[in-house]
Structure 1
Amino acid sequence: MSLPRIPKQRKIIGRRRLSATIAGIVAEKGAQAGRQDIVEALRTALADGRKELTHRLSRKPGAGHEHANGQAFLIDQLIRVIHDHVLEDVYPVGNRSSGERIALLAVGGYGRGEMAPFSDVDLAFITPDKPTSWCEQVIEAILYYLWDLNLQVGHSTRSLAEAARMAKSDLTIRTALLEARFLWGDQDVYDAASAQFWNEVVSGSEAAFVQEKLAERNARHKRMGDSRYVVEPNVKDGKGGLRDLQTLYWMGKYVHRVRSAAELVEKGLFTDKEYRSFRRAESFLLAVRAHLHTISGRGEDRLTFDLQREVAARMNYADRPGKSAVERFMQFYFLQAKHVGHLTGVFLAHMEDHTAQTSRVANFFSGMWPGKSRKVDGYLVEDDVIAAPSDDWFQQDPVRLIEIFTVAEREGLEIHPGTIRIARRDAALITAKVRKDERANALFMDVLAGRNNPENVLRWMNEAGVFGRFVPDFGKVNAQMQFDMYHHYTVDEHTIRAIGLVSAIERGALPEDHPLATDILPKLAHRKVIYVATLLHDIAKGRGGDHSVLGADVARKLCPRLGMDEKETELTAWLVRYHLLMSATAFKRDLSDPKTISDFVAEVQSLERLRLLTVLTIVDIRAVGPGIWNSWKRQLLADLFEAAQEMLRLGHKSHGRPQRIAAKKAQVAQLLGKQASLVDDLAEMFGDTYWIAEPEDVIAINLPHYAAAIEAQHSLSIHTEYYEALGSTLVTVIADDHPGLFFRIAGAIHLAGGNIIDARIHTNRMGKAVDNFLVQNPMGQPFSEAAQLQRLKKGIEDALANRIDMVPSLEKRPLKQMRAENFRITANVEFDNDASNRFTVIEVNATDRPALLNRLTRALFEQSLLINSAHITHYGERAVDTFYVTDLLGMKLDSANRMAKVERALLDAIAAGERELAQAAE
């Protein structure tokens, strides 16, 4: 195997010219004395070659194969020059013995000729027998030259016998030698090694190699996140990345002994069209990897947020209405990863049949099995795998493209990759006529709202291209990413995961994670509505405008086609339009404020809507990605659901609120046990909002703490404890209330290394502040160790006792560069005087950063505002902090000039934090 012809090779490197330069140095100074000059000549050649290749990449930014081959060619020529110099000038031997022979082999990715600018240079030095001292000297001299060039060299030195023995026992070595390419040196030794490898190592081990490679691939996928749709993918090792394509080639080459991927077509493993897809995906991924290495100046294979914009720009992607350049680039990336997934399925089905040497699939293209099988609705089924009975099965009736997925979901079957292949080929048969077909739509609804496992089947349908053809609006969000830190998956993958969650909850599979949704789902009067609304809730993303509004329009057009009546259609459209309402209310508003609940209920209007919206909200958040759903969000949503349900059942009757408070007091008394009398003793000191806002277990912590502080006459009392139920640390501060208390506590918590995720601020009738904060470390984990809790407590004590000067201390604290800095959220301040009867609600949107809350609350203090409650929410890089405030007289802000001054102060505080962080990064 040799490298493809490289255009204008001498512009990359002229080997003869470089050899002549080195010969001149040796003639003038000698090999040893001139060594440093030789190294400099090699460095110059390497730098010039890389510069030329970088220039070519900028002119042809998608030419992945050409660039990768060019990198390998550059290294080839350098190694050949170094080898010849060492043999001729450093360790010359007149008549070498039979043992003084060396073959240089390029192995691994270098052997394939696929190198990125900072890829490792993997070499194998092969000798006929145990290396002689001369061989060891030569190899060492070559390696030292390569190390002097700062190349990352992976190398091995083995005799022919040793190479065969180790390859038999080590999968990594076997894979490296599988791609071995003769580089330079003794051709006869290479030929002997190659013949030995294929005859002694490969022969008879094909099935074992395939199984080991599959196990290795599965372990790698699990390690990398097990989804090809994660928004910061690893181009090399991630699912759907280069390594998956290479694994296909390795297995094909090992079993069928092909020399290039093109020969996989001749062996029947790919069609011509699939091979072109293989090459297209490989070239694109190689190009992306080359840009990643070039931009970062190192071997970087992860397409992180900070690199995505620049790679997109280098590959000439531009903004379009509704989609930024980076989103368009990443959508194309995920489409290529999807093609890789399809190719993998097709390829592995062939390999399984070949290596198992069975006749299970006599004709892969038709999916017909000659052995014992059964028929289900005309389809062949064997070993829980369903297949089309003929190659033209879907052509005979395109509705079958939907039907086969329906049967698979209903019967709990897998679909044979050969049949997926045919479906992918024939997906274009789904025309407007098929989309309007009543039977086709009924079959689709049976999949979507299936009772077994609609998630997997919908994913197969999506990867076959059938889903997007049948629901074109879904096809538009296929592989579409959202360029932010909040969403972990593409829109289509997020949607399919959310549908899978609805199904799992309905089956009773997640009672501990989602007790509320588990209780609600059996009570729904419109079961199919929740599935269709989940499908459509993000369907209009990437179009520009409010995707909720646009999505509701899609629902009104699509639902009748799916067989839904007018009531179901309007209910679905309402859910899509307001699918963010419940989370926004629960996370950004004060649930103890009656106005919050009444406004929410005024929009929801019915118990069925409330139930449907609650389930949709839960699965939407949970399907965003790992770590997004937590017990704190579960509690807030449950509180909002219960309060709204009560109001819907009782109307606006006044006795509902006292009943809730009385019930909560009874529960707190039960938790307090012997101290239950504290509920009655202290009840009048706290207003209704306290009893409604705080969970029972937090009140059971607060009351003894408050009683002890009063008895000891402490003007300041701080309690910290690991709050397992909500995955955070509960910090309670009891102090004489005064303006500025909040921002000082927030600053102290930040100085102690904590982030406030929620704050509930209360001033009782004795003028005492009882403030509860939920705190996590920067990694989103609670402080749980005793020393950590003590440090947190001590920091707050020192800050409130004026033992530290807050502002200088915060300014001195080193700021870590955050991933959120790769994004720019336009700071925004909104005032709402209708959300509460007593308070002005101020909502601040900004890029998340350290000490943001401290800066905002300090700005509010300096504007002479009193904060009654604060609600801190994070959506990845976006922080949304909501404050319920009054002026010093307890009045709302009703002056436009006053609000403008507060807005300016908050925006200035945000801007100051951005400047500080920018300076820290320099």
Structure 2
Amino acid sequence: MTAADSSDNTDSTAIQDPCAWVEQQLAAASPEQLANHNDRVALLKQVLKTGEEVIKRIHLEGAPGMEVCKLRSCMIDLILRRVFDDAMVDIDPQSKTNLTLVATGGYGRGMLNPFSDIDILFLHSDKIKQLDAPSQDAVESVLYLLWDIGLKVGHATRSVKGCVQIGLEDFQTLSCFIESRLIAGDPALFDLFTEKVRNQCINGREDAYLANRFEDLDTRHERSFGTLYVQEPNLKSGVGALRDIHNIIWINYVKHQTLDLNELVNKGLLTAESLDILNEGHDFLLRVRNDLHYEEGRSRDVLTLFLQGVVATHFNYPQRSILRRCEAFMRDYYHQTRSIREITSQVMEGFQIESERKKHTGIISFLARRKEERESFDGFFSEGERLFAEHDDIFREDPARLIRMFQHTQLRHLRLSPNLKDLIAASLDLIDRPFRYNKAHRETFLAILSRRGDVSRTLRQMHRVGFLGKYIPEFGALDCMVQHEFFHRYTADEHTLRCIDMLDSLSEPQNEEQKRFAEIFNRLEDPAVLYLSMLLHDTGRAENARHHEDASALLSSKVCNRLQIKSGRRRLLIFLVDHHLTLWKTATTKNLEDPNTIADFAKVIRSSEYLRYLYLLTYADSNGTSSESWNSWKATLMAQLFKYTINYFENTKAFEERLAIIDPKLREQVLRKLSPGYAEEVDAHIENMPTRYLQSRKVSTIAEHIRVFRKFFEKLHRSDGSALNPAFTWQHREDQGSSKVIVCSWNRENLLARIAACLSALNLNILAADIYTRKDGLALDLFRVCTTNLGPVTNERTLKEFEKLMNQVFSADQIDMAKFIALGEQRQLKRKQDLPQFPQRVLISNKVDPNTTFVEIQALDRLALLTDIFTVFGEMKCEVAHARINTTRGAAIDTFYITEPNGDKITNETKLRDVQNRLEEKLDIPHEV
């Protein structure tokens, strides 16, 4: 029986040491036994397969990440060594080629995740310019065999001189060389390679390499939005991820000639405790990455929402629901990566300080040292834009320094030195109840919040060293808290700090939109209240309350008691926290052209002063949620609501009078916008349109609608078969990033569904819809739409295609919606992505609006979603009075205001239940029992 035959029958569960077993299998097979290429491939494939199965079993049993990676690296070493040695049998031992196999990159590190690339270097002597034929054949033999057994191999063939040359040209390749290992071949040649790389590529270039690593770190972190608290982090290149650890390993070698991080402890750049924490985080990341690779069957670094649940389950998190398991797992992930970020940042800064001090030694740098001013104050001293402690007992001597220190960094624009961060971490126990209630401390904290435009940097420093969560424990409860709301890209604490970033940015506005907000921001009498309300606005999320804003308001009241915030300041702060979603919800779900909407909103807001604070908070909150949560359309809605409400407060009586009656001069005003021949049409329009329309629409807008109705009446007299087709016109608004399509037609079955089908077929996004039915059976439908690039629909070809589709869809009594969906799918970009964990639901309520039934649909966005929804409304004999569509990152949160055909609110419970069931069927949402 051959080795291949025996391995076929091997029980992988009986193997405890995969490396020993692989070595035994390979040793049992001589080159003579496996002279045939196919036999060799079969043996190696089977050995590799069995070895991989054993390593995967060890992982599933809960082995540490490093152990699994080392086992796989060891197994690949054995296979490559055997393959290389067999290939070299036919090469003359006296050959000057001296071919040597070297592991580089992650494989050189001896840490291979299950599907990571295997990077190898075929190294040869400088004595030859290119490989001779036998050596070239050997290289090809090795590579073909490795590929045939299914390994993903990255390779290069270079002389020592060639390696030095590319190491001088490319720091990334140099980093791969730093962790290279000899696999097989000539040890002397490998030693020469490492010596030459060290002497010619590294010595004398340490500072340039350090600068390159800082640049790499900044570039990578920018891709993750500068934070580790993203919703779907990258395990390799994200903030606090594996590459941050690799960076300090490489720099340690460049600076101290060793890959052993214990040298950082010896040099005082790292404590032994911090090194243990770093190794623990490293192992955690590798274990998570191993699980991703095994789950996906390929190399995978992005921890998507879907995979978070998979990993949490595999790691046996005990929580019952998948949501809670994800929450617990991701909290561990953020804690680990935060520790990695803090420790690696501290080490990187230590390297930088080390380099700066070397530059400033000797007589030549005497003047340079003089320029670097040192200022001593309050037990601290500043040097090189960093704050240092005069001695290790400064906080034990005076605990108040813990908060004054941050005021010093704010006023002097300093950052905390690495040693000071260690002192803070060792002193957090001083922040107890008396510390939080201390008058001087709260005055210092509120003074920090009062420095308009320079608050975020200080709060972030507080948060990074753990002070902020200890001093304001209500905020501390948000630490690394995962937010399951789909629109949130960040954890709760990072979202809050990004909101404060947005407030600070208004002190130096970068565009016209920011300038408008900056004007309001700079006039605020009490910026500290705005900043504090921003800090507290989401604290209720940690309470797991149904409405987190209510819980946040209660927690804010506790903070006000502790900080002694009273009277008007207290009322304003609690109002802002309690209503931080009110402006956004009103603007994005209600009809802002309806004066009743403005009046109801104004009564909640109370005053123009409260409105200005809330407007700024809403702007910051939306922009701090994700990059997609604020766009020109939403900005327009917010601005419109703000302007209308300010007008209400300035002249409430006039506004309320407008609600009570229709302007008696409306007919005359509309006619002025039209020619005299429109008199009868104006009369009919005013007589038949709903009161809410006549109260809310501008005179010029009403005139435009009447012109479109005339186009429809003119079509009625045609004999080309299009008499019953709607008439429509487009209006484009570049400043709002959208277009409005005005459609006039007889009210007919599935009218809205047909229009939505045409828009979907062209892959256009519907942002909002206002639906009006006249008493004479005519319908006026106003759709606000945009392209997939969030711009107006100005392409002439698209506009002509829409007209063609409208003619088709309204010329037939029955239409095939699948046909139109297929048209849209052809226009959509084909891209594979994980389905998000996004709770879908249908909510129907008669309490939201006094005149209509409110329907909110939260669903995964897809082509023809609105077509399906409007179809249900049509079949259930429901009239849509108004709709607001909100789509972001693949999720749709749409609101509809519906009525009976006669315009009354739907009160029949059976009908409401049937509408809900039909909608849930269309959206594939299970019915609640």
TM surpasses 0.5: yes
Deviation per residue, 1:271-327 (Å, 9 max, x gap): 112111211221111111111111111111111122111012112223379971112
CA contact under 8 A between 1:586 and 1:636: conserved in structure 2?
yes
| 1:709 shift after superposition | 5.3
Secondary structure (helix, strand or coil) at the match of 1:854 reads helix
Q: Is 1:175 matched up with 2:175?
A: yes
Closer, same or farther in 2 for the Cα pair 1:128/1:842, shift >3 Å?
Answer: closer
In the alignment, which residue of structure 2 is the partner of 1:35?
Answer: 37
Relative to 1, partners in 2 of residues 1:675 and 1:412: Cα closer, same or farther, differing over 3 Å?
Answer: farther
Call closer, same or farther: CA 1:707–1:814 in 2, change over 3 Å: closer
Please report how far the alpha carbon of residue 721 of structure 1 lies from its aligned counterpart in structure 2 after TM superposition. Answer: 5.7
1:227: which partner in 2? 227
Displacement of 1:352 in angstroms is 1.3
Letter paired with 1:823: Q
**Could you tell me whether the CA contact under 8 Å between 1:551 and 1:576 is conserved in 2?**
yes
Q: Which moved more, 1:677-686 or 1:603-612?
A: 677-686
Q: Does 1:84 align with 2:85?
A: yes
Aligned to 1:885: 898
1:16, distance to aligned residue in structure 2 (A) = 3.7
Cα contact 1:241–1:285 (8 A) shared by 2: yes
1:864 aligns with 2:860: no
Which residue in 2 is equivalent to 1:285?
A: 285
Aligned to 2:916: 903
Q: CA deviation at 1:849?
A: 3.2
* 804-813 vs 842-851, which moves further: 804-813
Q: Which residue of 2 aligns with 1:918?
A: none
The residue type equivalent to 2:412 in the other structure is: E
Matched, 1:521 2:521: yes
Cα 1:886–1:178 change in 2 (3 A) is: same
Among 20, 25, 49, the alignment partner of 1:18 is 25
Give the aligned partner of residue 52 of structure 1.
54
1:113-512 equivalences in 2 (<5 Å): 113-129=110-126, 130=128, 131-319=131-319, 324-358=324-358, 372-375=373-376, 379-505=380-506, 507=507, 509=509, 512=512
Q: Does 1:755 align with 2:769?
A: no
Q: Report SS of the residue matched to 1:513.
A: helix
Deviation per CA, 1:529-560: give whole Å up to 9, x if none: 22111111111214322321221111111122
What amino acid maps onto 2:41 in structure 1? V
Matches of 2:455 and 2:361, distance apart in 1: 27
Residues 773 and 780, structure 2, Cα contact 8 Å, conserved in 1:
yes
User: CA contact under 8 A between 1:123 and 1:156: conserved in structure 2?
Assistant: yes
Q: SS in structure 2 opposite 1:22?
A: coil
Shift of 1:81: 1.5
Counterpart amino acid of residue 811 in structure 2: A
Q: Larger deviation: 810-819 or 407-416?
A: 810-819
Deviates more, 1:601-610 or 1:143-152: 601-610
Using the alignment, how far apart are the partners of 1:421 and 1:359 within structure 2? 26
In structure 2, the CA distance between the partners of 1:689 and 1:36, relative to structure 1 (3 Å rule), is: same
Could you tell me how far apart the structure 1 residues matched to 2:757 and 2:48 are?
52
Counterpart AA for 2:747: D
Q: Residue 100 of structure 2 contacts residue 185 of structure 2 at CA under 8 Å; is this kept in 1?
A: yes
Q: Deviations over 1:56-91 (max 9, x none)?
A: 111116x12111111211211110121122223xx2
Q: Which amino acid aligns with 2:922?
A: A
The total of aligned residue pairs comes to 888
Please state how far the C-alpha of 1:892 moved relative to its aligned partner.
1.9
Deviations 1:409-466, CA, capped at 9 Å, x for gaps: 2333333344334323433332222222222222222223322421122112111111
> Does 2:781 align with 1:771?
yes
1:790 to 775, 781, 800: 800
Distance of aligned partners of 1:679 and 1:836 in 2 relative to their CA distance in 1, 3 Å threshold: farther
Q: Where does residue 846 of structure 1 map in the other structure?
A: 859
| C-alpha distance in 1 between matches for 2:361 and 2:234 | 35
| Distance in structure 2 (CA, Å) of the matches to 1:194 and 1:891 | 84
Query: Do 2:327 and 2:482's aligned partners in 1 also have CA atoms closer than 8 Å?
Result: yes
Aligned-pair distance for 1:594? 3.9
2:815 pairs, out of 782, 805, 816, with 805
Tell me what 2:11 maps to.
none
Question: Do the aligned residues in 2 keep the contact of 1:631 with 1:725 (CA within 8 Å)?
Answer: yes
Measure the CA separation in 2 of the matches of 1:15 and 1:322.
38
Task: Measure, in 1, the Cα distance between the counterparts of 2:434 and 2:137.
Answer: 75
1:46–1:692 Cα change, 3 Å: farther
Deviation at 1:329, TM superposition (A): 1.4
Give the direction of change, closer, same or farther, for the CA distance of 1:161–1:510 in structure 2 (3 Å limit): closer
Per the alignment, residue 724 of structure 1 pairs with 734
Deviation at 1:248, TM superposition (A): 1.4
Aligned to 1:587: 588
1:165–1:516 CA distance, 2 compared to 1 (3 A): closer
Cα distance between partner residues in 1 of 2:407 and 2:677: 60
Separation in structure 2 between the aligned mates of residue 101 and residue 594 of structure 1, nearest angstrom: 87
Q: Distance in 2 between matches of 1:745 and 1:861?
A: 13
**Partner Cα separation in structure 2 for residue 126 and residue 498 of structure 1:** 53
Q: How does 1:524-535 map to 2 (within 5 A)?
A: 524-535=524-535
Provide TM-score, normalisation by structure 2: 0.88
Measured in 1, the distance between the counterparts of 2:340 and 2:499 equals: 24
- Give the 3-state SS of the residue equivalent to 1:116 in structure 2: coil
- Alignment partner, residue 640 of structure 2: 639
Matched, 1:628 2:629: yes
Find the counterpart in structure 2 of residue 835 from structure 1: 849
SS in 2 for 1:300: coil
Q: Deviations over 1:370-404 (max 9, x none)?
A: 96323455542344443333333223222222212
The secondary structure found in structure 2 opposite 1:230 is coil
Indicate if the aligned counterparts of 1:756 and 1:774 stay in contact, CA closer than 8 A: yes
- 3-state SS of the aligned residue for 2:539? coil
Q: Which amino acid aligns with 1:313?
A: T
| TM superposition shift of 1:500 | 2.1
Question: In the TM superposition, what whole-angstrom CA distance separates every residue of 1:184-228 from its partner, at most 9, and x where no partner exists?
Answer: 221111112122222232211111111122222222333443322
Q: Name the CA distance, whole Å, in 2 between partners of 1:205 and 1:728.
A: 54
Distance in 2 between the 1:273 and 1:698 partners? 70
What amino acid is the match of 2:883?
Answer: A
Return 777-786 or 455-464, whichever deviates more.
777-786
> Which stretch has the larger CA shift, 675-684 or 579-588?
675-684
Given that residues 746 and 779 in structure 2 are in contact (C-alpha distance below 8 angstroms), is that contact kept between their aligned partners in structure 1? Answer: yes
1:745 to 746, 755, 780: 755
Shift in CA distance, 109/369, structure 1 to aligned 2, threshold 3 Å: farther
Aligned equivalents of 1:480, 1:678: Cα separation in 2? 65
Change (3 A) 1:609 1:677: farther
Residues of 2 paired with 1:664 and 1:275: CA distance? 80
Q: How far apart in 2 are the matches of 1:665 and 1:137?
A: 91
Report % sequence identity: 27
- Find the aligned partners of 2:478 and 2:599 in 1 and give their Cα distance: 36
Alpha-carbon distance change, 783 to 40 in structure 1, aligned in 2, over 3 angstroms: farther
Q: Report deviation, 1:805.
A: 2.0
Distance 2:453 2:897 in 1: 46
What does residue 9 of structure 2 align with?
Answer: none
Q: Do the aligned partners of 2:450 and 2:526 also contact (CA within 8 Å) in 1?
A: no
Rounded to whole Å, the distance in 2 between the matches of 1:697 and 1:121 is 69
